[in-house]
Amino acid sequence: MKTLKPGENAPHFTLPNQHNEPVSLTDFRGKKVLIYFYPKALTPGCTVQACGLRDAKAELDKLGVVILGISPDSPKKLAQFEEKKALNFTLLSDEDHQVADQFGVWGEKKFMGKTYDGIHRISFLINGKGVIEQVFTKFKTGEHHQVVLDYLTKK
Protein backbone atom coordinates (compact mmCIF):
# COMPACT_ATOMS: atom_id res chain seq x y z
CA MET A 1 0.00 0.00 0.00
CA LYS A 2 1.60 3.25 -1.17
CA THR A 3 -0.43 6.15 0.18
CA LEU A 4 -0.29 9.40 -1.80
CA LYS A 5 1.69 12.23 -0.20
CA PRO A 6 1.41 16.03 -0.07
CA GLY A 7 2.56 17.63 -3.31
CA GLU A 8 1.25 14.78 -5.48
CA ASN A 9 -1.66 15.24 -7.85
CA ALA A 10 -4.92 13.73 -6.66
CA PRO A 11 -6.22 11.05 -9.03
CA HIS A 12 -9.19 12.08 -11.16
CA PHE A 13 -12.27 9.99 -10.45
CA THR A 14 -16.02 9.82 -10.85
CA LEU A 15 -18.10 7.83 -8.37
CA PRO A 16 -21.83 7.54 -7.64
CA ASN A 17 -23.05 9.48 -4.62
CA GLN A 18 -25.70 8.46 -2.07
CA HIS A 19 -28.38 9.39 -4.64
CA ASN A 20 -26.65 7.31 -7.35
CA GLU A 21 -25.62 10.47 -9.24
CA PRO A 22 -22.09 10.75 -10.66
CA VAL A 23 -19.70 13.06 -8.81
CA SER A 24 -16.22 13.87 -10.10
CA LEU A 25 -13.31 15.40 -8.25
CA THR A 26 -13.01 17.89 -11.13
CA ASP A 27 -16.50 19.21 -10.21
CA PHE A 28 -14.74 21.01 -7.34
CA ARG A 29 -11.84 22.67 -9.21
CA GLY A 30 -10.95 25.92 -7.50
CA LYS A 31 -12.12 24.68 -4.08
CA LYS A 32 -10.38 22.81 -1.31
CA VAL A 33 -11.72 19.28 -0.94
CA LEU A 34 -11.42 17.04 2.10
CA ILE A 35 -11.65 13.44 0.89
CA TYR A 36 -11.99 11.11 3.80
CA PHE A 37 -11.93 7.36 3.35
CA TYR A 38 -13.82 5.28 5.88
CA PRO A 39 -14.39 1.51 6.09
CA LYS A 40 -18.16 1.06 6.47
CA ALA A 41 -21.28 3.19 6.83
CA LEU A 42 -23.36 2.95 10.02
CA THR A 43 -20.59 1.32 12.07
CA PRO A 44 -19.68 2.97 15.40
CA GLY A 45 -16.32 4.55 14.45
CA CYS A 46 -17.46 5.66 11.01
CA THR A 47 -20.63 7.17 12.48
CA VAL A 48 -18.67 9.16 15.09
CA GLN A 49 -16.31 10.44 12.38
CA ALA A 50 -19.14 11.38 9.99
CA CYS A 51 -21.16 13.12 12.70
CA GLY A 52 -18.10 15.15 13.74
CA LEU A 53 -17.71 16.35 10.15
CA ARG A 54 -21.45 17.00 9.92
CA ASP A 55 -21.30 19.20 13.03
CA ALA A 56 -18.18 21.03 11.78
CA LYS A 57 -19.50 21.58 8.25
CA ALA A 58 -20.42 25.25 8.79
CA GLU A 59 -16.84 25.98 9.92
CA LEU A 60 -15.41 24.01 7.00
CA ASP A 61 -17.73 25.85 4.61
CA LYS A 62 -16.38 29.19 5.91
CA LEU A 63 -12.87 27.92 5.17
CA GLY A 64 -13.95 26.98 1.63
CA VAL A 65 -13.65 23.21 2.15
CA VAL A 66 -15.96 20.66 0.49
CA ILE A 67 -16.33 17.28 2.26
CA LEU A 68 -16.42 14.00 0.30
CA GLY A 69 -16.67 10.73 2.22
CA ILE A 70 -15.66 7.59 0.31
CA SER A 71 -16.35 3.98 1.32
CA PRO A 72 -16.95 0.65 -0.42
CA ASP A 73 -20.65 0.81 0.51
CA SER A 74 -23.40 0.83 -2.14
CA PRO A 75 -25.23 4.09 -2.92
CA LYS A 76 -28.32 2.61 -1.20
CA LYS A 77 -26.38 2.01 2.04
CA LEU A 78 -24.89 5.52 1.81
CA ALA A 79 -28.40 6.99 1.45
CA GLN A 80 -29.42 5.16 4.65
CA PHE A 81 -26.33 6.53 6.42
CA GLU A 82 -27.12 10.07 5.27
CA GLU A 83 -30.74 9.82 6.36
CA LYS A 84 -30.23 8.08 9.73
CA LYS A 85 -27.42 10.41 10.80
CA ALA A 86 -28.67 13.62 9.11
CA LEU A 87 -25.41 13.97 7.20
CA ASN A 88 -25.02 17.21 5.25
CA PHE A 89 -22.24 16.35 2.81
CA THR A 90 -21.60 14.06 -0.14
CA LEU A 91 -20.91 10.36 0.33
CA LEU A 92 -19.39 8.41 -2.56
CA SER A 93 -19.60 4.69 -3.33
CA ASP A 94 -16.32 2.98 -4.27
CA GLU A 95 -17.63 -0.59 -4.31
CA ASP A 96 -14.71 -2.01 -6.30
CA HIS A 97 -12.26 0.10 -4.22
CA GLN A 98 -10.65 1.43 -7.41
CA VAL A 99 -10.35 4.99 -6.07
CA ALA A 100 -9.15 3.73 -2.68
CA ASP A 101 -6.42 1.83 -4.56
CA GLN A 102 -5.42 4.97 -6.49
CA PHE A 103 -5.06 6.97 -3.25
CA GLY A 104 -3.21 4.08 -1.59
CA VAL A 105 -5.68 3.51 1.23
CA TRP A 106 -6.79 -0.04 0.36
CA GLY A 107 -4.67 -2.74 1.90
CA GLU A 108 -4.13 -5.36 4.56
CA LYS A 109 -5.72 -4.73 7.92
CA LYS A 110 -5.88 -6.67 11.16
CA PHE A 111 -8.85 -6.67 13.49
CA MET A 112 -9.56 -9.04 16.37
CA GLY A 113 -6.94 -11.50 15.18
CA LYS A 114 -8.17 -11.58 11.58
CA THR A 115 -6.28 -10.30 8.57
CA TYR A 116 -8.23 -8.95 5.61
CA ASP A 117 -8.10 -6.27 2.91
CA GLY A 118 -9.99 -3.06 3.49
CA ILE A 119 -9.94 0.72 3.61
CA HIS A 120 -7.52 2.45 5.93
CA ARG A 121 -9.01 5.50 7.63
CA ILE A 122 -6.98 8.24 5.91
CA SER A 123 -8.03 11.71 4.74
CA PHE A 124 -6.64 13.98 2.05
CA LEU A 125 -6.94 17.74 1.79
CA ILE A 126 -6.76 18.68 -1.87
CA ASN A 127 -6.19 22.25 -2.99
CA GLY A 128 -8.09 24.07 -5.74
CA LYS A 129 -5.60 22.90 -8.36
CA GLY A 130 -6.07 19.21 -7.58
CA VAL A 131 -2.83 18.80 -5.63
CA ILE A 132 -2.76 17.02 -2.26
CA GLU A 133 -1.98 19.65 0.36
CA GLN A 134 -2.13 17.52 3.50
CA VAL A 135 -2.67 13.87 4.47
CA PHE A 136 -4.28 13.04 7.82
CA THR A 137 -3.37 9.57 9.07
CA LYS A 138 -3.18 9.81 12.86
CA PHE A 139 -6.41 10.75 14.57
CA LYS A 140 -9.21 9.32 16.69
CA THR A 141 -12.53 9.13 14.86
CA GLY A 142 -14.17 11.58 17.26
CA GLU A 143 -11.36 14.12 16.78
CA HIS A 144 -10.94 13.90 12.99
CA HIS A 145 -12.92 17.07 12.26
CA GLN A 146 -10.92 19.02 14.87
CA VAL A 147 -7.57 17.81 13.47
CA VAL A 148 -8.62 19.08 10.05
CA LEU A 149 -9.91 22.39 11.43
CA ASP A 150 -6.72 22.90 13.47
CA TYR A 151 -4.61 22.34 10.35
CA LEU A 152 -6.68 24.78 8.30
CA THR A 153 -6.76 27.55 10.92
CA LYS A 154 -3.09 27.34 11.96
CA LYS A 155 -1.65 27.71 8.45
The CA distance from 136 to 30, in Å, is 21
Beta strand residue intervals within the chain, DSSP E: 14-16, 22-24, 32-37, 65-71, 90-93, 106-111, 114-119, 123-126, 132-136
51 is catalytic: no
**Strands 65-71 and 32-37, bridge-based pairing:** parallel
* CA 112 vs CA 70, 116, 124, 133: distances in Å: 24, 11, 27, 34
Catalytic residue of the set 33, 46, 87, 105: 46
Residues serving a catalytic function are 46
